[in-house]
Amino acid sequence: MHTPSLQGKSQASLIWALFFSGALSVTGCATTEPATSGAGFSAVSASPVDPYEGFNRSMYGFNMGLDKYLLKPVADSYKFITPNFMQSGVTNFFNNLKGINVVLNDILQGKFEQSASDLGRFTTNSTIGLFGLFDVASELGLQQNVEDFGQTLAVWGVGQGAYLVLPILGPTTVRDGGGVILDKAANPGTYVPGTGVLEGISDRANAEGALNFIDEAALDPYVFTRESFLQYRNNLINDGKADADSFDLDVDAEVDVGEISEVKSKEGNGVDKSKTPKVKDSGGHVENNLELDAPKADGTVQAFDSMSKSFDDAERQFEAVSLKMDDISKKKSRWRRR
């Protein structure tokens, strides 16, 4: 999938993979306690894509604690002692290493024209850009693309599988989990001791603004993380073309179909509509009497379908929010130093 620039790619990855960064090492980490008890837990546990939610929430909580007490302090120290231009160089270097994977997956997906462009980009940054420390290719108009083995498996018809949250690695799926293994095997940095640690620190430092956004805005960070990650991956697999299926409204999970049929039957027999059954919301609470009919349900689904068409616009808006939050954080740091 094409991304307009290195900065854009970095921000978009963080945001839509739960604003998580290119590597998934910190995507399961945030600082807001998710709603894990009572009706709130049962409301989201019915998601067919997340059959192991109990385990996943436990791992999510573990990752939150790990981020709070280890990853964030290390990343903050890294940002404090490392000049901005060096941080950019580190980010550029690791993104350039991924260029080998991108070219390989371009070929495996049959994107031969794109593979030639990506090979030119990798060669340019590896030579003129001093082993990728400088993103010269973007200045020359060689756009950056994001391809990985998880996307390749999807193109080959491999199903997504269940959503999983792994310790340290964060959110993934069965398919993407297998893809990550292949990505690591094809990345030269895997075989150089210490590079994985440095890359993880760099990714966590770049994710600061995005994680703060989740902490402040999400009612349930776990659900927000899951849905954002799945939509982000779907966006990559479809090369930025929104897939309406990812926004389908699971009406059956919200309302008992049998109750809807009963309502229609009674209405057809002239029964007072005020006596229609009460409908339970997703949390199991009884709401006021509601008239439920197929046109309204279809309209809701169509509304969600139309939302998918503006996916790229939403992505750009989140990028802008993340950039602004990073800028505010930098200004606060400078003010504190004074």
pLDDT at 208: 85
Query: pLDDT tens digits, the chain, 338 residues: what are they?
Result: 655 444 444 443 343 334 343 333 333 343 334 444 333 444 444 588 999 999 999 999 999 999 999 999 999 999 999 999 999 999 999 999 999 999 999 999 999 999 999 999 999 999 999 998 999 998 898 888 899 999 999 999 999 999 999 998 899 999 999 999 999 998 888 888 888 899 999 999 988 888 887 777 778 889 999 999 999 999 999 987 755 454 443 434 333 434 444 444 444 455 454 444 444 444 444 444 444 445 444 544 454 444 444 445 545 555 655 666 666 666 666 666 66
Q: Which residue has the tokens 């008239």?
A: 291
Amino acid code (one letter) for 179: G
Q: Are 124 and 118 in contact (CB under 8 A)?
A: no
Alpha helix ranges (H) inside the chain: 6-16, 38-45, 53-66, 72-81, 84-97, 99-108, 112-127, 136-139, 149-155, 174-186, 195-206, 208-217, 221-237, 251-254, 257-268, 294-309, 311-337
Cα(53)–Cα(96) distance, rounded to whole angstroms?
A: 35
Whole-model pTM?
A: 0.60
pLDDT at 193: 87
pLDDT at 227: 92
Q: Are 299 and 271 in contact (CB under 8 A)?
A: no
Residues contacting 110, CB < 8 A, separation 6+: 155
A 10 A CB-CB count for 103 gives 23
pLDDT at 118: 92
- 175 is written with which tokens? 């398919």
Cα(34)–Cα(25) distance, rounded to whole angstroms?
A: 19
Q: Domain coordinates of the chain in residue numbers?
A: 2-242+312-337, 251-300
For residue 273, give the DSSP letter. G
pLDDT at 143: 87
Q: Are 133 and 92 in contact (CB under 8 A)?
A: yes
pLDDT at 13: 39
- 131 is written with which tokens? 């082993």
Cα(148)–Cα(164) distance, rounded to whole angstroms?
A: 18
Backbone CA torsion sign across 37, 40, 43, 46: negative
A 10 A CB-CB count for 323 gives 14
pLDDT at 216: 78
156 phi/psi in degrees, rounded to 5: -80, -5
A 10 A CB-CB count for 94 gives 21
pLDDT at 328: 67
pLDDT at 248: 46
Cα(47)–Cα(57) distance, rounded to whole angstroms?
A: 13
